Structure 1
């Protein structure tokens, strides 16, 4: 397996980006990226296991989101394999398992059935997520993301914040000698919980607020205002995920956009809002990691290229 040769224009665009900007996609195992990222149409299973070596040679893609972690703990051997396939300077964003990120135990239809007693359990998070991810990825480990699923009737602000405070305070400290680029980050799916008190709590624990462009959440400019509150004393790194087109639910995107080989639904408003917050972060001298899903516009690598053009225009304008 080899990377698909990048066009000279794409290589030139990548050369104009600051080194502290890390673009990546939400997973990399997509056969439809033949002729965009990969030199052939390989199975998703093979790409999942062996595709990172080719993926990481794409001029724009210097990061990747490891999404499979949400569905269950990843063995240390797999993290070691991922790290071995990519060059120095590459970054991984890793999602924590739903066992500690979902307040509900869900049925086959996705509906919450019972309250999850392991929700925000720091001991389980450390054992099943933090220790294997940091040990296996080492210097290539970036944000360790707790994507908190919609809590529905369990989304009581005071109770949630008390529990989150205890959880973040009990997580193991990250060793800068082992993982100098790692940081904890939290992404909410309940907009009512996105309050100044929540932001101050994250800041108190040194945890990053993950901006997420998707349905159910406020638009990126409003989330950027929350980021500004977090960084009012001093600028910090940006963690941002562009997951869905504005107004498009997940099921619609998965069905309409496959096989993810082209832009289907252009979303310039979200792109320009993201470019604004990324450019501000870079001007402040801080790193930014931006993970893009195929479900944002139809093809994550092409969305990254358009977003890169918008960021360059702001930085050079």
Structure 2
């Protein structure tokens, strides 16, 4: 059973104190996060390309068994016609992200709330996502944010390609609770600032049980605390990791 728990990114000034110890050099924050979490969702790749050496350095900063998910470039998903995005997808996948090696987890493809389900166009987009890159197997997690995707056709086309529909626990976006791949990808977005661990004990128990249920049958689980009271997300992740270890 492999359950990876973490947060979005690792550079956030309000974490200096509540999470990062005083005096810790900024360049060592990823190393510290890697020692206390088991996964991180890289968000910077959504906004711009990175150098291959940057990915290699990130991989070297975290221990064995740690996993990064990589958020796909906005230029791949924020398009009127998704099926015309082959060039932008190739540019994103060839920037060097495979230098993460065995630390590479799923690629996270996030769509804007204004993107509605178009069966043919979406199928064309999914067909552009390769199963491997530079000899590494790729896993694809698809996050949609419009109610039109509550369509059996969408669920079927994702399942046929062994891609995961992101489980988004959010007040703002719909949650499509379907297991469509050999892994689960969940983004929890309800942390509360007045709770030291972001989520109270009852909620943490719920998510620990849910994560273990998702992991049955040797399914990997990637669970990230995102948004909400962001300052509390590292504490929430650490508390859930402790619950899972009990």
Q: Do both share a fold (TM > 0.5)?
A: yes
1:124-203 → structure 2 map (5 Å cutoff): 124-127=88-91, 129-151=92-114, 155=116, 157=117, 160-175=118-133, 178-180=135-137, 182-203=138-159
Find the partner of 2:238 among 279, 301, 305.
305
- Cα distance, 1:312 vs. partner? 5.5
Seen in structure 2, the aligned counterparts of structure 1 residues 135 and 267 have a Cα distance that, compared at 3 Å, is: same
Q: Which has the higher contact order (CA 8 A, sep 6+)?
A: 2
- Cα distance, 1:277 vs. partner? 2.8
Does the 8 Å contact 1:72/1:99 carry over to 2? no
Find the partner of 1:85 among 61, 71, 89.
61
Aligned counterparts of 2:84 and 2:187: Cα–Cα separation in 1 = 22
- Cα distance, 1:165 vs. partner? 0.9
Does the 8 Å contact 1:64/1:92 carry over to 2? yes
Find the partner of 1:122 among 80, 83, 86.
86
Aligned counterparts of 1:54 and 1:264: Cα–Cα separation in 2 = 18
Aligned counterparts of 1:70 and 1:98: Cα–Cα separation in 2 = 5
Larger Rg: 1
What is the DSSP-based 3-state SS (H/G/I as helix, E as strand, rest coil) of the residue aligned with 1:202? Answer: helix
- Cα distance, 1:134 vs. partner? 3.6
Count how many residue pairs are aligned between Structure 1 and Structure 2.
246
Find the partner of 2:213 among 280, 284, 288.
280
- Cα distance, 1:284 vs. partner? 2.5
Name the residue aligned to 2:9.
27
Q: CA deviation digits over 1:223-255, x for unaligned, max 9?
A: 33x22xx36xxxx2111111345xxxxxxx8xx
Name the residue aligned to 2:21.
39
- Cα distance, 1:121 vs. partner? 0.8
Aligned counterparts of 1:32 and 1:214: Cα–Cα separation in 2 = 22
Does the 8 Å contact 1:243/1:293 carry over to 2? yes
Does the 8 Å contact 1:25/1:63 carry over to 2? yes
Name the residue aligned to 1:5.
none
Q: CA deviation digits over 1:121-144, x for unaligned, max 9?
A: 1321121x2222543212111010
Seen in structure 2, the aligned counterparts of structure 1 residues 296 and 31 have a Cα distance that, compared at 3 Å, is: closer
The TM-score with structure 1 as length reference comes to: 0.67
Does the 8 Å contact 2:82/2:125 carry over to 1? no
Does the 8 Å contact 2:197/2:239 carry over to 1? no
1:289-300 → structure 2 map (5 Å cutoff): 289-293=222-226, 295-296=228-229, 298-300=231-233
Does the 8 Å contact 2:6/2:223 carry over to 1? yes
What is the DSSP-based 3-state SS (H/G/I as helix, E as strand, rest coil) of the residue aligned with 1:199? Answer: helix
Please, which runs of 5 or more residues in structure 1 have no aligned partner?
A: 1-17, 104-115, 246-252
- Cα distance, 1:146 vs. partner? 0.5
Aligned counterparts of 1:140 and 1:147: Cα–Cα separation in 2 = 21
The TM-score with structure 2 as length reference comes to: 0.84
Name the residue aligned to 1:54.
32
Name the residue aligned to 1:215.
171
What is the DSSP-based 3-state SS (H/G/I as helix, E as strand, rest coil) of the residue aligned with 1:305? Answer: helix
